[in-house]
């Protein structure tokens, strides 16, 4: 079943069209990567999906229902979770308290179970602002996972991570993919090709190509526009 669909989704800022009539489908249980050059409209698109940016035109359907009029908090209640390009944690609070806020519960077993899922259980009492950048990203993912989302949207999750941290992130997605559908906005092509079941490429706000990693890698238009090689 299609968990998420967009129909002719568009966003204009004055005379600039950031996203132009994008049709997109994401089946339940899939890891789907959204890639494209800087300025392609990726973050604007997922912002509209999550309800943080108002669409100029088009529709967003989630779990078979039109959620276009709903604000972000209502979409969260329906099962969406969205992590940002820049970490959005409570830096002065402990990891335990960050996750407890996301859960809406201070039940110790529940909070520690969430931290355990992302490998941070042993840091539960640590102040979030003292974490390395990579661990802060993991905490933010934990806060998303705490909501038991049907759809987890990750916007540039490996940005700023060391290679060892990226390896840990891949392992985490390998565990999470059995539990939730994932929409991944990512520049690291090694991460994309190793994790994604399907890829959609945006260019100047439009869908350039969509398919399996192998199909997208072989697409001459994608090679020319994004992967840095000339078409055959």
Contact (CB, 8 A) for 136 and 89: yes
CA 167 to chain centre: 18
What's the pLDDT at 228?
Answer: 59
What pLDDT does 87 receive? 62
Number of domains in the chain: 1
Residue 27 falls within a domain, yes or no?
no
Q: What is the pTM of this model?
A: 0.89
Structural domain boundaries, residue 120: 89-148
CA distances from 166 to 49, 75, 193, 198, 202 (A): 26, 29, 13, 20, 24
131-190 tens-digit pLDDT: 988 889 889 999 988 888 999 999 888 887 888 888 888 988 998 999 899 999 998 999
Structural domain contains residue 97: yes
Give the DSSP letter string of 84-129: -SS----TTSBHHHHHHHHHT---HHHHHHHHHHTT-GGGTTSBGG
Q: How confident is the model over 36-40, as a mean pLDDT? A: 90
- Residue 178 in domain: no
Domain membership flag for residue 192: no
Report yes or no on 169 lying in a domain. Answer: no
**What percent helix, strand, coil does the chain show, rounded to 5?**
40, 30, 35
Q: Is the pLDDT score of 232 beyond 90?
A: no
With CA atoms as reference, report the closest residue to 52 among 36, 34, 38, 70. Answer: 70
Please report whether residue 164 resides in a domain.
no
The CA distance from 58 to 135, in Å, is: 37
Angle at 185 between CA 174 and CA 111, to 5 degrees: 50
């Amino acid at each position: 079943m299609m968990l998420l669909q967009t129909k002719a989704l568009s966003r204009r800022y004055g005379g600039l069209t950031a996203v132009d009539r994008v049709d997109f489908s994401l089946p339940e249980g899939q890891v789907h990567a959204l890639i494209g050059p800087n300025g392609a409209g990726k973050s604007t698109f997922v912002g509209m999906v999550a309800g943080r940016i108002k669409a100029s035109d088009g529709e967003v359907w989630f779990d078979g229902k039109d959620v276009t009029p709903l604000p972000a908090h209502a979409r969260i209640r329906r099962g969406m979770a969205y992590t940002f390009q820049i970490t959005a944690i409570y830096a002065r609070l402990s990891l335990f308290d960050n996750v407890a806020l996301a859960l809406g519960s201070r039940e110790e077993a529940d909070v520690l179970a969430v931290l355990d899922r992302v490998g941070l259980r042993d840091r539960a009492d640590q102040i979030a602002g003292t974490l390395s950048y990579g661990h802060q990203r993991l905490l933010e993912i934990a806060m998303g996972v705490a909501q038991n989302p049907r759809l987890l949207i990750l916007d540039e999750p490996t940005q700023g991570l060391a290679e060892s941290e990226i390896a840990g992130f891949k392992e985490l997605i390998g565990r999470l993919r059995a539990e939730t559908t994932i929409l991944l906005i990512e520049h690291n092509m090694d991460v994309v090709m190793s994790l994604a079941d399907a890829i959609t490429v945006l260019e100047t706000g439009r869908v350039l190509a969509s398919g399996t990693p192998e199909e997208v890698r072989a697409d001459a238009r994608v090679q020319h526009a994004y992967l840095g090689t000339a078409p055959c």
